Amino acid sequence: AQSVTQLDSQVPVFEEAPVELRCNYSSSVSVYLFWYVQYPNQGLQLLLKYLSGSTLVKGINGFEAEFNKSQTSFHLRKPSVHISDTAEYFCAVSWYTNDYKLSFGAGTTVTVRA
Amino acid sequence: DVKVTQSSRYLVKRTGEKVFLECVQDMDHENMFWYRQDPGLGLRLIYFSYDVKMKEKGDIPEGYSVSREKKERFSLILESASTNQTSMYLCASSLLSNGYGYTFGSGTRLTVV
């Protein structure tokens, strides 16, 4: 069965420092890749997606992610975080072999401190 | 913008009650989904529907059922609520069945006492 692994459950970071959230998945065959953000007491909002083409994907709010097929990874990065980036971040993958239903990682809570 | 509206933000129910969670989308999307969100487990798919009156089991369907009588409405039913169904429930819809373009509702936090 396909799986999505987010390697860090909690990431504390200081304001204006860079952050990287790691995501690995079980198979690269016909995948679409996503990062979602959930701010406190809200639903999920799409940050960025990889469907095809360039392996470096830019999203909203200064986030970017890189698709690495050989390492089956899709890590999320931001060069300089703000207090407002405090949220929970979810990596999600859809596979052709699973009718493209979204499967989610366990989530990474990012806490930005001044 | 597509809106996905979940009828209740917070809900408290007693063990054994029948519980209905309602979800309505306003953009004529074919596909609708119910997930539950638990700390450390992420989002897990309960049921989904690709068309009216059509339903498919997700990864954790036990203890749940669904109803889709109209295209815009997808209901999640807990036939006999139990304390282990205390969770955040998220509804989503999408136009295409290709994994992207999901729009999520704000969630219903259900507590079963």
pLDDT, tens digit, for every residue of A11-41? Answer: 999 999 999 999 999 986 778 899 999 998 8
Question: Which residues in chain B have Cβ-Cβ distances shorter than 8 Å to A107?
Answer: 40, 42
Closest chain B residue to A88 measured between Cα atoms? B42
CB of B41 within 8 Å of a chain A CB? The answer is yes
> Is the Cβ of B99 closer than 8 Å to some Cβ of chain A?
yes
Q: Is B29 helix (H, G, I), strand (E, B) or coil?
A: coil
* Length of chain A as a residue count: 114
Q: How far apart are CA A75 and CA A64, in angstroms?
A: 8
Residues 38-67, chain A: which have Cβ within 8 Å of B?
41-46, 49, 51
Burial of B108 per CB tally in 10 Å (0-12, 13-18, 19+): buried
pLDDT along chain B (113 residues), means of 10: 86 97 92 94 93 92 96 96 97 77 91 98
Nearest to A5 by CA among A113, A103, A112: A103
pLDDT for position B94: 87
pLDDT at B14: 97
Looking at residue A99, its pLDDT comes to 67
pLDDT band at A2 (very low <50, low <70, confident <90, very high): confident
Q: How many CA atoms lie within 13 A of A111 on its CB side?
A: 6
Is residue A106 scored above 70 in pLDDT?
A: yes
> According to the model, what pLDDT value does residue A95 have?
79
Q: Does B63 touch chain A (CB under 8 A)?
A: no
